[in-house]
Amino acid sequence: NITSGGFSVMILEFAGIPSTILFGWISDKLQGRRGMVSLLCMIPVVLAFYAIVVYPHTSMWFYYAMFSVIGFFVYPPVMMLGVMGLDLTNKKAVGTAAGFIGMFGYLGRTAQAKGFGVILEQFSTLDIVSRWNIVLYTIVACTLLSVILLAFTWKVKPRG
């Protein structure tokens, strides 16, 4: 229902506020190793999405807990990858780099929304729960892919 959905979104969003500050501080204490911290943050995200798929008919409190885990751990990598892009670019190109980072973030979010729609449409012969399970498995796969790609940034530190 609309109340549960709204509360889920609120939990997801608000969980990211303290964690973004916390993990940003941690990455600063680790000499700017934002890729490493981002990778470690994505592991609980993978597990939380997988738990949502594996335990589909549990209470809303279970989903609220998983959404809080996702929100707590997904927003720090979003922030840190933007900061990492700025850390690694020439000081004269910081504005341009920030623009490109933002543009690709919006393009990614658009592709994600379109991709979910295509998946739901392509499997229209299945019931709605099965279609959404395919979407959730796709999210798990993409999250695992993000962990693999973040592994390439494990040792990256800011310039200068």
pLDDT tens profile 88-117: 998 899 999 999 999 999 999 999 999 999
- 32-55 pLDDT, tens per residue? 999 999 999 999 999 999 999 998
What is 2-151's CATH topology?
Growth Hormone; Chain: A; (1.20.1250)
The pLDDT > 90 percentage for the chain reads 75
Taking each helix axis from N to C end, the angle separating 34-54 and 60-88, rounded to the nearest 10 degrees, works out to 160
Other beta carbons within 10 Å of 87: 18
At 58 the pLDDT is 77
Q: Is the dihedral of CA 24, 10, 142, 41 positive or negative?
A: positive
Q: Which residues contact 51 (CB under 8 A, 6 or more apart)?
A: 66
Which whole number is the average pLDDT over 124-149? 93
Q: What is the pTM of this model?
A: 0.88
Which candidate, 105, 81, 102, 85, places its Cα nearest to that of 94? 85
**Residue % of the chain over a pLDDT of 70:** 99
Instruction: Read off the pLDDT of each residue in 127-149 and give the average, rounded to a whole number.
Output: 93
CB 87 within 8 A of CB 30: no
Question: Lowest-confidence range among 24-28, 47-51, 59-63, 152-156?
Answer: 59-63
